[in-house]
Amino acid sequence: MAHAEGHEQGSNIKRIWTVFGILSVVTIVEVYLGILRPDFLYMNNFISMNLLNWVFIILTLYKAYKITWVFMHMEGETASLRWSVVATVIFLVLYLLFILLVEADYIFEVFKNGTIKWNF
């Protein structure tokens, strides 16, 4: 951030508080939806996950983006640093999730359709 020094010194603090406001509002919306669990979101599915969970995950990623870009000052770093950090993590996490969740769903089907009884 030493490189960013010198420009927009005055407006930085204002920006921090704005982002804090955004993060708080997003959290409040999440909690509100988590308590209400509106049926039109909770009971409808999109790609085998209900819409409410999609909303939660998208809001979470938005919060993560704000924290990384503004608080960790990713926006002020060079593009090469920015993407070597972010792209690496995103790629590896997506890969890991794909493998594990597909596999887990398969095991669930085996348990469900097999002869194994657990609820006794």
Distance of CA 72 to the CA centre of its chain: 16
Q: Compute the distance between CA of residue 105 and CA of residue 76 in angstroms, rounded to an integer.
A: 41
Q: Are 41 and 50 in contact (CB under 8 A)?
A: yes
Site for another protein, residues 76 to 115, rule: CB under 8 A: 77-78, 80-81, 84-85, 88-89, 92-93, 96-97, 100-101, 103-105, 107-108, 111-112
Please report which helix (H) or strand (E) contains residue 50, including its range: strand 49-50
Binding mask of the shown chain, residues 31 to 60, with x at each position contacting another protein by CB under 8 A: x--xx------xx---------x--xx--x
Least CB distance to another protein at residue 115 (A): 14
Indicate which single residue of 27, 38, 44, 75 sits in contact with another protein (rule: CB under 8 A).
27
